[in-house]
Amino acid sequence: MTAAFGARLAAAMDEHGPLCVGIDPHPGLLASWGLPDDVGGLREFALRVVDVLGGRVAALKPQSALFERHGAAGMAVLEDVVSAARAAGTLTIVDAKRGDIGSTMAGYADAFLSDGSPLAGDAVTVSPYLGFGSLSPAADLAARTGRGIFVLCLTSNKEGHEVQHAVGSDGASVAASVAAQAAVLNAGADPMGSVGLVVGATVGDAVRETGTDLEAVNGPLLAPGLGAQGAGAAELAKVFGAARPRVLASTSRAVLGAGPDGLPDAARTAADEARGALRA
């Protein structure tokens, strides 16, 4: 890697708009494309998305679980997706949400962040709920290889508040603590650091309620929920406020649902919407 992930992502967002398109090969979506729910359908779907959208969007985000469900052959397709995106010059965020301790976390880091690993894109999503410090193997390796991590912070699932809104003995919410520790790792980075957060675009007042300082993070904010899940300009403004310039809006169904022939126009529309909502 010739530059840190945060700098490369900032440049891609400026060039293509602050949009990430998820590659989420759900069985229903494969069916809507006329493809079977097997490895052949998975390969046709995923590589078609990369072929059409590579070089057109800031980032692509393959959902690892939907490749893993097809076993070793599915993981081989994920490797090919990462390789194809790299060849197209498009950043890849592997949505794996890994989180563990010690040598196990180091193993996940090697798989998704080490030079030479076929699963290593430009960044990976990780879970901090065994303690933020448990992510050190991933954060350290990402820093050494010029890659990034996106740490779950405020997610849009209804169960998320049980952990993320909980308050510790220091009076800070879990979400606020996660954001503060990410900010420490990003301190001094320009134009932004490589330790990002995942904050749902549909979490409403959760940022304010948990006292989470997103502006201070100085890193990218991956925001699932644009489009089909209901988030638009008003929702993005409510959730992110002054931190909007660092938001990478993520969508899947709103683009992929357009089908293989409609992908370019759908992606262009989503990117324009994200740019208008976040960069105006």
**Catalytic site residues?**
97
> Residue 206, Cβ neighbours under 10 Å: how many?
22
Q: Would you report the helix, strand and coil content of the chain in percent, each value rounded to 5?
A: 50, 15, 30
H helix or E strand, kind and range, residue 96: strand 91-98
CA 114 from centroid of its chain's CA atoms: 18
Sort 75 into a burial class: Cβ within 10 Å, 0-12 / 13-18 / 19+. Answer: middle
Centre a 10 Å sphere on the Cβ of residue 253 and count the other Cβ atoms it contains.
Answer: 15
- Alpha-carbon dihedral angle through residues 63, 66, 71, 77, given to the nearest 10 degrees: -60
**Residue 37 near residue 69 (C-beta atoms within 8 A):** no
